[in-house]
Structure 1
Amino acid sequence: MGNQVEQANEIIDVCLLAGKIMLQSGGETYRVEDTMMRMAAAFGIKHSHSYVTPTGIIFSSEGPDPSITKIVRILERTTDLKKVALVNSISRKICSGDLTLVEAKKELMEIDSRDLSFPFPIQVVAASLASGCFMIMFNGVWNDFIPSMITGGAGYLGFVYFHRFVSIRFFSEFLASFIIGLLAFIFVKLGMGQQLDKIIIGSVMSLVPGLLVTNAIRDLMAGHLVSGLSKGAEAFLTAFAIGAGIAVILRFF
């Protein structure tokens, strides 16, 4: 009986680790729950329940096996879809019998400890190029391409920099959008830019919570009302912070 309980504990720990990685990296709620339950079933826990919210995961086993319930708190969330894909790949290997419990735990711990994001300079360059391209996509003029690149890159740089010192994400987004609006106004005022609105629209796109909105809608459609509404509220607050930063510039300048 003792070995059975210990084995069940190890299985649940691996499932919770996989769910934690996915949820912290931007995975949808229903995907996290489905992955955890499939992994548990593949390791022998046929009857399990999982309840996932953006801030925590509850997982339990039931049936003839020992009934065990564990919880994991989610303190930070970011966007790293590569980690989500890697955990999905490990889950498929587990379900097909290609990975043992020990091997799965080792690979998951390795994924959890790694930083798979692109180097910060590349992120800034990508945000700059995306800002210029979005500006053109919104019917901007080519003369505003360089100002949009500079404004968008500076805004993203400011967002990451402020977020390191201020843990409140919405405050960082407000300051970043404030920088974007101020730089766009300066470029237009100096004659280096023509369309203030197009420069601002293109530059703030790197801050827009696109993944949050998508996940909120998908969770709502899948019936996860708590997660869907909370993610929708987070996306709304993010959009409000971005809009407030731009509104301050337009109001006073």
Structure 2
Amino acid sequence: MEITIDDESFERVEVCLLAGKVMLESGAETYRVEDTMSRIADALGLPHSHSYVTPTVIMFATESKDIAKLIRITNRTIDLEKVATVNSISRNLTGGIITAEEAFQQLKKVEAAKHTYPIWMQIAASAISSGCFTIMFKGGWIDFIPAMICGGLGFTSFVYLQRLLGIKLFAELTASFFIGLFAFILTFVGFGKEANKIIIGSVMPLVPGLLITNAVRDLMAGHLVSGMSKGAEAFLTAFAIGTGIALVFTIL
């Protein structure tokens, strides 16, 4: 059933919520989501609106007609192209270039779009970056290819374990364990020299860099709940990576 946007406040709130949902699910900072929703609300004639955003919940309310809605966020990924697209739609809407109905339809298309790169390309990029990180951390060129192999195999296990089990923490722990195991095996057979440098470079694609950055930016913007929760998630990821590598050292 197609939803049509008219002058009713309830339907205008749907535009604000959809924009916030797409941005939050795509890895945007909390303060950016709230700011975009407020700008869209002002452009749609809802100047006295309030939004409260956490990594798992978006709440939006207006004072004029006591309209309040809440949506839960269950899936979060990194898709900065979607964030940039929603920002562009927001600017066009506030600038009067597009109407509310056009903005809503464009947001629905952005939500349904698949902007992520194919899995094989993600694995290839992870493998190449693992080798480059190994060199950056003062590893030898003899360890470049082994780091590419470990990084590619580790990221592959992470992707498919997360799809199979749906538990990100366990997938990260297992992937880091495989990386450490592969690094020791390759150096043991003579295909590689320094296992520690190979491991350091290979785990870098798993490091939650954007999550840490967003946590710090949210804390600086005064969003303490979101900042602390994202920081805790980043800490758990780092803990899982460290635990997986530590298990390899313990066993071997």
Superposition TM-score, scaled by structure 2 size: 0.97
Quote the offset at 1:99 in angstroms.
1.1
The residue aligned with 2:92 is 93
The separation in 2 between residues aligned to 1:114 and 1:80, in whole angstroms, is 11
Aligned pairs, number: 248
Instruction: Among all aligned residue pairs of Structure 1 and Structure 2, give the percentage whose two residues are the same amino acid.
Output: 58
SS where residue 8 of structure 2 aligns?
helix
C-alpha deviations, 1:146-204, integer Å up to 9, x for none?
A: 00001000000000000011111100000100110010000111111101111000000
Please tell me whether residue 111 in structure 1 is matched to residue 116 in structure 2: no
1:190 pairs with 2:189: yes
Hey, what does 1:48 align to over in structure 2?
Answer: 49
- Equivalent position of 2:14 in the other structure: 13
Given residue 154 of structure 2, which amino acid in structure 1 is its aligned partner? Answer: G
The offset of 1:6, in angstroms, is 6.4
- Residues 126-145 of structure 1, C-alpha deviations (whole Å, 9 max, x = no match): 00000000000000000000
Question: Which residue pairs with 2:173 in the alignment?
Answer: 174
Once residues 229 and 235 of structure 2 are traced to their aligned partners in structure 1, the CA distance between those partners, rounded to angstroms, is 10
1:67 aligns with 2:66: yes
| Per-residue CA distance 1:191-229 (angstroms, 9 max, x = gap) | 111011110000000000001100000000000000000
Q: What is aligned with 2:37?
A: 36
C-alpha displacement at 1:49, in angstroms? 0.3
TM-score using structure 1 length: 0.96
Q: Which amino acid aligns with 1:176?
A: A
Q: Which residue of 2 aligns with 1:153?
A: 152
> Aligned partners of 2:167, 2:34: CA distance in 1, in Å?
28
- Tell me how far apart the structure 2 counterparts of residues 107 and 67 of structure 1 sit (CA, whole Å): 27
Q: How does 1:119-134 map to 2 (within 5 A)?
A: 119-134=118-133
Tell me the amino acid that sits aligned with residue 26 of structure 1.
G
Determine the structure 1 residue equivalent to 2:226.
227
Q: Secondary structure at the match of 1:205?
A: helix
CA RMSD of aligned residues (A): 1.2
Structure 1: 5+ residue stretches without partners:
none
CA distance in 1, matches of 2:30, 2:16: 14
Distance in 2, Cα, partners of 1:131 & 1:112: 31
Q: Which amino acid aligns with 1:28?
A: E
Q: Aligned partners of 1:233 and 1:99: how far apart in 2?
A: 40
Runs of 4+ residues deviating >2 angstroms: none
